[in-house]
């Protein structure tokens, strides 16, 4: 503790002799802080492990015996993925190494030069593939059961009990099953094996081969239960072509899609057309698709037509599929196109039936939810209400209750459950009856233990199910108070698991039977605590929040402020006090902006480079700053003027605090917050300095630009996206003019630091250059930092991030604390 105090005194003294010594001292101080993250548990609930993450590393794994929590099991010093294995085993793999520990006997074994490690949790085994392509299978007593040489690529596994490899011999390939204690040959072929994968149900091994004679792709299906092999017709010869496989109803059928990408080619002239509905391909290129359906009961395969509708998607039915044109009528007012003229394709009759135009409710793009039995589809025709489509016969029911989100079908196809901001709702399909379950009235609900299977890589189409034979695990969030509780519900009976808490629940881990729960919770002044809840037991702390390096967290102070916008909207803000706050003194304040921030009120804050947007709250508090995080929203005034109103109202709310020096206030933002900072800097006289990162300066130029990060025109960002103008430039030019920072850059009256990454495709770096040039033309105090290798955000462990982190702190000290011995700023 004395060493930490000494470091702090050195760090925050006025005698910073050199940039390098400052940087080294800062990093040394940061490295003393840690947090607990990502708990995992064994199947029987006895063992739990949790990562201890430092700013740039997470190579410490803490292991606890829930039966003897006071008896230390020890730590495993290796970053990467950790998995419990049946028989009290723990396997950790990462950084080219693996470690296994038998938690009952304490025996450990280390492996180096590891390509990948596989846990086989059900059988009590694990496999190690070394960098010399040798695969070894061990039991939990570390006895080697199998040894295979010459293993190609990566084995395929369900991580439970199944493990398959393929290897090359002198003139042929073999696919081996390693389920038993001896390997079993499943297939021998003269063809070159390109890829092997396991279907989600584990019933089929899907093998992609290249035929020796024709050089065409061959798909081979191996039934893992019977060993039966089926070969599908050869199709593709292009090396860049790739297949995707979607299993229907756990192996009843297989939907196969072949994608043939064509990247944009360098040519004399690239022609763009004003009626192009798919401008995304200007960056990504065009992909041609073909589709097949393979039925397991008769081993028949048929190709599905794409001449009328070029995209076909599975919906967990072996008869019906969605068919549509993916960009038809796309006006770029949403990032993803709303799906128009969606058809149900019937493979038996080779016919189409129109479904409808589909929009999104929970997301900006169209959503479709499928039932497990393949009989129902759920989507929205107006973006407000859900429509349920029954495929046989083709009928439709509209669920008119508003604000229902994230639907999930029950496995038996009888019900649909909906999350909402007011309780959990259940819709009975047969009777069309919608009921609020009254388990969390007035609270935002979330079903934690739903099973989610995306059935389309590109679109928001998914199979989401719950099994009513098991309890539902529900999170209930009271948004006004930001308190959270967890409960289980089964057949009308509910039981509270975690009572309402003001703490932030970072992780809530549980077993399949919902009998053992592990809670990782924290608060802004409380490091994470790991607790255990057994069936019918009270919560027990396994790893307490006490930290030798962060005892000062208990002294942190926070106020929640309230203010109202010109539009009459009530907002909140978070005000953090300096460490060791003295009411007799005045302190400078940093204001950070990025939309709604009050949700951070109960989140633990640590210093370091992992923090977003160069907002290192903890370091600023230690250095003697107030930090204010006001909420900002976009109202009728537009994004810039609304942000100005929100921030000024928040400043008014804290101006009565005698500890804040309102003449020494700085404003910082990144991305959308960078745009807001640029705008406020051109309209406000209440800040002594600014920092803007990767922010737009000219929204009109941006509106008429092509976005290479979200490929396509930028219209949607302004009309329906983050900037929420809700109208086109043509229809209200004045709204765009009045919210454009570059038009008023001559009014900036305080020093501003601009920064950007020159690899940024989201907010092009020349937007920062444009603002710099405008300020330079009018002789404003401005410094711009251009990072050649930086993207929209700088990498957490990168040298660029570390450099910017230090410069941000120096900028605030220079202009808000009058610490002028900073050469790179003095040059300005």
Q: Hey, how many other C-beta atoms are within 10 angstroms of the C-beta on 19? A: 15
* Extended beta strands in 706-817, E state: 706-707, 712-713, 752-757, 782-787
Q: Which residues contact 327 (CB under 8 A, 6 or more apart)?
A: 277, 278, 280, 337
pLDDT at 24: 67
- Mean pLDDT, range 705-730, rounded to an integer: 90
> Any idea what DSSP says for residue 337?
P
Please report, for residues 119, 120, 142, the alpha-carbon distance to residue 86 in angstroms, rounded to integers and kept in the order given.
10, 8, 13
* Confidence bin at 334 (pLDDT 50/70/90): confident
The answer, yes or no, to whether residue 15 has pLDDT greater than 70, is no
The burial class, CB within 10 Å (0-12 / 13-18 / 19+), for 240 is exposed
Res 537 pLDDT > 80: no
Tokens of 760: 């940024």
Partners of residue 404 on adjacent β-strands: 420
Helix (H) or strand (E) segment spanning residue 630: strand 626-630
Please, what is the angle between helix 19-30 and helix 799-816, to 10°? Answer: 110
Using an 8 Å Cβ cutoff, are 347 and 319 in contact?
yes
**Distance from C-alpha of 199 to C-alpha of 197, rounded to nearest angstrom:** 7
Mean pLDDT of 694-703: 95
Average pLDDT (506-519) is: 88
Segment (H or E) for 6: helix 2-12
List the single range of 356-365, 626-635, 764-773, 776-785 with lowest mean pLDDT: 356-365
Q: Residue 279 CB: number of other CB atoms within 10 A?
A: 17
Residue 384, Ramachandran bin (φ over 0: left; ψ between -120 and 50: alpha; else beta)? alpha
The per-residue pLDDT for range 594-628, each reduced to its tens digit, is 999 999 999 999 998 888 878 999 999 999 999 99
CATH homologous superfamily of 556-826: Alpha/Beta hydrolase fold, catalytic domain (3.40.50.1820)
Residue burial 243-260, b: 16+ Cβ < 10 Å; e: rest: bebbbbeebbbbbbbbee
Distance between CA atoms of residues 702 and 680, nearest Å: 19
Rounded Cα distance, 673 and 722, in Å: 11
Contacts made by residues 540-544, CB under 8 angstroms, sequence distance 24+: 540/66, 540/69, 541/69, 542/48, 542/64, 542/66, 542/69, 542/518, 543/36, 543/50, 543/62, 543/64
250, containing H or E segment:
none
Question: What string of DSSP letters covers 84-97?
Answer: EETTTEEEEEETTE
224 close to 203: Cβ distance less than 8 angstroms: yes
What's the mean pLDDT in 305-325? 93
Q: Residues 437, 426: contact at Cβ < 8 Å?
A: yes
Sheet containing strand 351-358, strands side by side: 311-314, 320-324, 339-346, 351-358
- Distant-in-sequence, close-in-space partners of 486: CB < 8 Å, separation ≥ 6: 448, 473, 474, 475, 476, 496, 497, 498, 505, 508, 517
pLDDT of residue 743: 96
CA angle 467, 469, 471 (to 5 degrees): 80
Question: How crowded is the C-beta side of 353, counted as CA atoms within 13 Å?
Answer: 15
pLDDT in tens, 172-221: 999 999 988 889 999 999 998 888 999 999 999 999 988 888 888 889 99
CATH number for the segment(s) 78-190: 2.40.10.480
Is residue 122 scored above 80 in pLDDT? yes
How far apart, in Å, are the Cα atoms of 140 and each of 199, 544, 610? 27, 30, 37
Q: What is the mean pLDDT of residues 36-47?
A: 89
553 neighbors 523 (Cβ within 8 angstroms):
no
Q: Which helix (H) or strand (E) holds 715?
A: helix 715-719
Give the confidence band of 19 by pLDDT, cuts at 50, 70, 90.
Answer: low
Please give the average per-residue pLDDT across 111-133, as a whole number: 94
For range 688-705, the mean pLDDT: 96
Tell me whether strands 626-630 and 587-592 are parallel, antiparallel or unpaired.
parallel
pLDDT at 399 (0 to 100): 95
Range name among 92-106, 276-290, 368-382, 578-592 with the lowest pLDDT average: 276-290
pLDDT class of 759 with cuts at 50, 70, 90: very high
DSSP 149: -
Half-sphere exposure of 88 (CA within 13 A, CB side): 13
pLDDT given at position 10: 38
Distance from C-alpha of 601 to C-alpha of 576, rounded to nearest angstrom: 10
Residue 665 CA to residue 650 CA, distance in Å, equals: 13
Cis-peptide, bond into residue 76, ω within 30° of zero = no
> Is the separation of the CB atoms in 55 and 33 below 8 Å?
yes
Instruction: Tell me: pLDDT of 3 over 50.
Output: no
Helix (H, G, I), strand (E, B) or coil at 825: helix
Place of tokens 């600014």: 690
For helices 672-681 and 639-654, give the axis angle rounded to 10 degrees: 80
Rounded Cα distance, 242 and 40, in Å: 35
Residue 12 near residue 623 (C-beta atoms within 8 A): yes
Cβ contact 722:640 at 8 Å:
no
Q: Between the ranges 82-96, 484-498, 652-666, where is the mean pLDDT highest? A: 652-666
Task: Tell me if 231 sits within 8 A of 237, measured CB to CB.
Answer: no
- 651 class by beta-carbon count within 10 Å (0-12 exposed, 13-18 middle, 19+ buried): buried
Residue with token string 């992909």: 287
Q: Give the separation between CA 222 and CA 231, rounded to whole angstroms.
A: 9
Q: What is the pLDDT of residues 223-245, one digit of tens each?
A: 998 888 988 877 766 667 888 99
Return the pLDDT at 338: 83
DSSP letters for 450-480? -EEEES-SSSEEEEEEE-TTS-EEEEEEETT
Q: Which residue has the tokens 């048929």?
A: 302
Mutual orientation of helices 19-30 and 2-12 as an angle, nearest 10°? 140
The rounded distance, in Å, linking the Cα atoms of 87 and 104 is: 8
Nearest to 59 by CA among 95, 7, 28: 95
């Amino acid at each position: 503790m004395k060493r930490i105090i000494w470091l702090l005194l050195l760090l925050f003294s006025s005698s910073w002799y050199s940039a390098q010594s400052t940087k080294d001292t800062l990093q040394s101080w940061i490295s003393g802080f840690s947090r607990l993250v990502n708990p995992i548990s064994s199947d029987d609930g006895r063992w739990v492990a949790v990562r201890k993450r430092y700013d740039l590393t997470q190579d410490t794994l803490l292991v606890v015996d829930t039966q003897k929590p006071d008896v230390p099991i020890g730590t495993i010093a290796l970053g990467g993925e950790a998995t419990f294995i049946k028989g009290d085993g723990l396997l950790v793999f990462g950084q080219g190494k693996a470690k296994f520990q038998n938690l009952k006997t304490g025996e450990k074994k280390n492996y180096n030069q590891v390509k990948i490690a596989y846990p086989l949790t059900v059988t009590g085994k694990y496999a190690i593939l070394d960098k010399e392509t040798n695969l070894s299978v061990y039991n939990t007593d570390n006895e080697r059961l199998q040894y295979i040489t010459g293993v190609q690529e990566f084995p395929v596994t369900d991580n439970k009990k199944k493990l398959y490899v393929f290897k090359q011999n002198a003139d042929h390939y073999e696919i081996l099953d390693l389920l038993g204690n001896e390997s079993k040959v499943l297939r021998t072929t003269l063809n070159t094996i390109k890829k092997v994968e396991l279907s989600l149900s584990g019933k089929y091994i899907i093998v992609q081969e290249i035929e020796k004679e024709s050089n065409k792709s061959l798909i081979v299906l191996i039934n893992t239960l019977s060993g039966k092999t089926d070969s599908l017709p050869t199709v593709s010869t292009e090396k860049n072509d790739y297949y995707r496989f979607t299993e229907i109803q756990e192996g009843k059928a297989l939907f196969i899609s072949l994608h043939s990408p064509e990247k944009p080619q360098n040519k004399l002239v690239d022609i763009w057309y004003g009626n192009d509905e798919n401008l995304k391909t200007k960056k990504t290129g065009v992909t041609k698709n073909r589709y097949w359906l393979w039925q397991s009961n008769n081993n028949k395969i048929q190709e599905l037509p794409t001449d009328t509708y070029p995209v076909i998607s599975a919906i967990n039915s072996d008869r019906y599929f969605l068919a549509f044109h993916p960009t038809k009528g796309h006006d770029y007012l949403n990032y993803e196109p709303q799906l128009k003229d969606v058809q149900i394709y019937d493979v038996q009759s080779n016919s189409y039936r129109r479904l409808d135009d589909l929009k999104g409710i929970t997301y900006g793009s169209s959503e479709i939810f499928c039932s497990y039995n393949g009989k129902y589809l759920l989507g929205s025709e107006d973006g407000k209400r859900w429509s349920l489509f029954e495929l046989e016969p083709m009928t439709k029911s509209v669920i008119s209750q508003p604000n229902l989100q994230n639907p999930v079908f029950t496995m038996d196809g009888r019900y649909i459950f909906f999350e909402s901001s007011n309780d959990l709702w259940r819709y009975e399909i047969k009777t069309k009856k919608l009921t609020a379950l009254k388990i969390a009235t007035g609270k935002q609900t979330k079903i934690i233990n739903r099973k989610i299977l995306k059935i389309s890589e590109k679109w928001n189409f998914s199979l989401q199910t719950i099994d009513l034979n098991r309890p539902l695990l529900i999170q209930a969030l009271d948004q006004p108070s930001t308190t959270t509780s967890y409960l289980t519900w089964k057949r009308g009976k509910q039981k509270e698991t975690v009572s309402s808490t003001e703490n932030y629940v970072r992780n809530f881990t549980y077993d399949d039977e919902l009998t053992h729960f592990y809670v990782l919770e924290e608060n802004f002044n409380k490091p994470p605590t790991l607790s255990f809840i057994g069936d019918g037991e009270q919560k027990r702390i396994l790893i307490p929040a006490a930290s030798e390096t962060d005892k000062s967290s208990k002294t942190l102070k926070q106020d929640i402020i309230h203010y109202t916008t010109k539009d009459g909207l009530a907002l909140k803000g978070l005000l953090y006090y300096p460490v060791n706050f003295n009411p007799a003194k005045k302190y400078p304040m940093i204001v950070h902006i990025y939309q709604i921030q009050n949700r951070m009120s109960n989140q633990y804050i640590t210093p370091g480079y992992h923090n977003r947007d160069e907002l290192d709250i903890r370091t600023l508090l230690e250095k003697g700053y107030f930090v204010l995080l006001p909420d900002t929203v976009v109202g009728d005034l537009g994004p810039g003027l609304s942000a100005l109103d929100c921030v000024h109202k928040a400043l008014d709310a804290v101006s009565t605090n005698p500890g804040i020096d309102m003449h020494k206030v700085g404003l910082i933002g990144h991305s959308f917050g960078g745009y807001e900072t640029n705008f406020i800097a051109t309209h406000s006289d209440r800040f002594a300095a600014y920092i803007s990162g990767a922010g737009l300066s000219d929204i009109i130029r941006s509106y008429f630009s092509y976005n290479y990060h979200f490929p396509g025109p930028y219209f949607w960002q302004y009309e329906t996206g983050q900037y929420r103008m809700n109208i086109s430039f043509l229809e209200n030019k004045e709204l765009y003019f009045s919210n454009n920072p570059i038009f008023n850059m001559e009014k900036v009256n305080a020093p501003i630091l601009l920064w950007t990454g020159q690899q940024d495709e989201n907010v092009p770096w020349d937007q920062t250059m444009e603002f710099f040039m405008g300020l330079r033309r009018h002789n404003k105090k401005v410094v711009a930092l251009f990072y050649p290798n930086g993207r929209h955000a700088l990498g957490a462990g990168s040298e660029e991030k570390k450099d910017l982190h230090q410069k941000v702190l120096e900028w605030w000290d220079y202009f808000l604390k009058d610490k002028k011995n900073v050469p790179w700023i003095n040059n300005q």
